[in-house]
Structure 1
Amino acid sequence: MNKGGTDEKRQRVEERDRASEREIARTLALGKEALLDSDSDEKRHRVEERERVKEKLRELWRKKRIRDQDPSMEAAQGFWGESERESG
């Protein structure tokens, strides 16, 4: 087993997760601004964006749970994601 390769892969995944978290935080900030916005079309757009971000966050947490179980399972995300949706 190539320990160095596994560490590099985990580091790339963690960097990708951090970037996603920053994107989510930015979008949530937009959602908060939308609640204060008096323009209903703009407000609706930002609320919709916030809902998309919430769904993305749920997906990231699902992937993290899979990765925490076993990093080699990352390739099997589709399989586990389907079984989670069916049982959820």
Structure 2
Amino acid sequence: MKLSEIQRKCASKIHVNVTIDCCYKEKKIVKEKMVGNHKEEFGLLWDYAHELGPKTPKLSIKMVIQRLTVDSLPHFKRYYVCFDALRKG
């Protein structure tokens, strides 16, 4: 969303006039929070897989990650879960 659009929506929806600088700072904060949420949710995928594994018989869980280098943090690529009941139809 462009800064001018944020400014216009603040004026029309909540009747507050804000500066472009204020919109820039808030947009930056929102982006940082969104990135943080992705990191937390990525960590929860591992917990979810470990929690389901021993409790569910004949469960297939595959999680594919990608690393740009050996030392880099993993990037999520895909997550696959198949329960035995789905296999049987």
Bin for the TM-score computed over the shorter chain: 0.3 to 0.5
With CA pairs under 8 Å and 6+ residues apart, which has the higher RCO, 1 or 2?
Answer: 1
TM-score, structure 1 normalization: 0.41
TM-score normalized with structure 2 length: 0.40
Q: Which has the larger radius of gyration?
A: 2
Q: Please identify which structure carries the higher strand content.
A: 2
Structure 1 or 2: larger helix share? 1
